Amino acid sequence: MAGDPARNLMMSRKMSVQEPPVLHGKIGSLEHESPVRASILANVDKAFDRQVAFLSSLVRCKSLRGLERGVQEVVEAALRERGFDVRRVGIDRALIGKHPAFSPATIDYDETWNVVGVKEPEVAGGRSLALNAHVDVVPAGDAGRWSLDPFAGVRAGDWLYGRGAGDMKAGLSALIFAMDAIEAAELSLTAPVQIQSVVEEEVTGNGAAAMLHAGYVADAVLIPEPTDETLVRANSGVIKFRITLSGVPAHPREIGVGVSAIDAAFRIMSHLRRLEHRWNEEKGNHPGFPDVANPAALTIGTIAGGEWPASLPSSCSFAGRIGFYPGDDQHERVREFERFVAEAVEQDEVLRSCPAPVVEWVGVIQAGYALEPGTEAEASLARAHEAARSAGSSLGSAIMACYLDSAIFAVHGDIPSLVYGPAAENIHAIDERVNLPSLLRVTKTIALFVAEWCGTRSMSIK
C-alpha cells in the first residue's frame, strides 16, 4: 500500500484481504515443509557473528535517557540499508494527561524520538506484526565495579557484556537479524511488518505510547525483553513517585528543637513498607501472582538531601516505584498511595511537626496486563520455539513483576502482546550480560514466528 505507513497499518487490521499464493503455512511447526525451516535456521547461523558485532555497536552507544540520538541513528541506518520505509516518531508532551497511554514526564523530548521501519508486502494476505524493542538504558553506576567497561560491548566466551546488552539491545538485534534470515531464505512476507526502536521504556513508557498514538498498530506485537526464553503471561502495573520532605533546620547546639528532613524521609520510607506489604497480600486474588515473591516490589531508587554537614537538613527528596496487579486501575492506586502517605504523616508525631510532604508523579503510571492463554499468536510462537531447538522444548511462561511496554499495546490498543527473549544476567546491575547461545536460539524462534504469523511466499513467485 502507498501513502502513510501508520495509516496503512491501521487499515490492515480492519480490511479483508485476498488469499495470496502463500507457499508455506505453519512454518514454525514440526510438520511443515522442512527445507524451508532449515533454510531460515541456517541463515540465522550464518549471520550470527555479524549479529553479535551489530549488538556490540548498539551497546557502545551510551543511550541513557535523553542521549538516545546516537543509537537511534545506528538503528535508522541499519533499517534503511535493509529496505525498510524508515521514519522518526516524536513524543508529544501535550498528550500527557490527555491520552490514557501516556505517563508524567520530567524532561522535554526535543532531542528524543522513536525510529520505526515498515515493510509492506507485494501481495497481502497474512497477519500484520509489530516487532518492538527499547534502546534506552539505565545508568551503569560506578564503572570501576564492572569487570569490563560497561559501554564497551565486549564478548567473552558465551556472553556479551555491557549496560543494555540484555535489557534489551540483544532483543533488538534479534528482530533485525530474524528478518534478514527470512529474506536470505528467499522468502517474502505476505503482511506488513514493523520494527519499532523506542525510547522511554525505563522511565515512562511514553515511547511506546507515541507509537500507538501515531497509529503503528498490528495484529500482534512481539517484544524480546530478556525473559530466559519464556513467554510473559502477565506483568505488574507500576507507578513511579517522588516524595519531598521539609524538615525543621537547626544548629547542632539546638538539635532538640529541629527535625532532620533526611530522618523524616527515612520515616516515610519505613511507613511505605507497610503499604508494600498490604499490596503484596492481595496477590492471592490474581492468577499466577501467588508464586511471585514480591509483586508490589517497592524500591527507593534515588535520594538527595541536606545542605551542610553541621546542620539539621532542611529538605530531602527520594524517588521510587511500587507495583500492583493486572486489572487494577492505576489512577485509583495513585489515589490510594497519596491517601496512605497522608494518613502515615497524621499518625506519626515527628512527621506531623514538619510541613506536609509533597508527592509527585515522575514516571510511568501504567496498568499491568495479562495475556490470556489460547491466542493464535501464542500458539504460533510456541511452535516456533519448539522448532528452533534441535531437541525441542515446550514454551514456558512466567510472571514479571515489573513494567513492560507490552502493557501499552495490550491495555490501550487491545493487541495480543508477546514478550519473549533471551537469557541475560545482572540487568540494571553490575556486569550486565546476555547469553549468546540463548540469543541465537531466540533469533531463530523469532524468524520462524514471523514467517508463520505473517505468511510467506517464495520470492520467485510473481
Residue by residue, what is the 3-state secondary structure of the chain? Answer: CCCCHHHHHHHHCCCCCCCCCCCECCCCCCCCCHHHHHHHHHHHHHHHHHHHHHHHHHHHCCCCCCCCHHHHHHHHHHHHHCCCEEEEEECCHHHCCCCCCCCCCCCCCCCCEEEEEEECCCCCCCCCEEEEEECCCCCCCCHHHCCCCCCCCCEECCEEECCCHHHHHHHHHHHHHHHHHHHHCCEEECCCEEEEEECCCCCCCHHHHHHHHCCCCCCCEEECCCCCCCEEEEECEEEEEEEEEECECCCHHHHHHCECHHHHHHHHHHHHHHHHHHHHHHHHHCCCHHHCCCCCCCEEEEEEECCCCCCCCCEEEEEEEEEECCCCCHHHHHHHHHHHHHHHHHHCHHHHCCCCCEEEEEEEEECCEECCCCCHHHHHHHHHHHHCCCCCCCCCEEEECCCCCHHHHHHHHCCCEEEECCCEECCCCCCCEEEHHHHHHHHHHHHHHHHHHHCEEECCCC
Indicate the residue type of 425. E
pLDDT of residue 17: 40
- Chain mean position to CA 276: 23
pLDDT of residue 373: 92
Q: pLDDT tens across 48-67, in order?
A: 999 999 999 999 999 999 99
For residue 459, give Cα distances in angstroms to 20, 25, 121, 254, 309: 13, 16, 11, 83, 72
Residues with Cβ within 8 Å of residue 93, at least 6 apart in sequence: 105, 108, 109
CA 225/CA 158 separation, integer angstroms: 19
CA 130/CA 149 separation, integer angstroms: 33
- In the block, which residue shows the cell 527520594? 318
Q: pLDDT tens across 95-138, in order?
A: 999 999 999 999 999 999 999 999 999 988 889 999 999 999 99
Judged on CB neighbours under 10 Å (0-12, 13-18, 19+), 215 is middle
Which residues of the chain register pLDDT less than 70?
A: 1-33, 460-462
Residues with Cβ within 8 Å of residue 457, at least 6 apart in sequence: 20, 21, 22, 23, 24, 123, 187, 188, 190
pLDDT of residue 26: 58
Q: pLDDT tens across 157-195, in order?
A: 999 999 999 999 999 999 999 999 999 999 999 999 999
pLDDT of residue 11: 45
pLDDT of residue 156: 97
CA 254/CA 311 separation, integer angstroms: 10
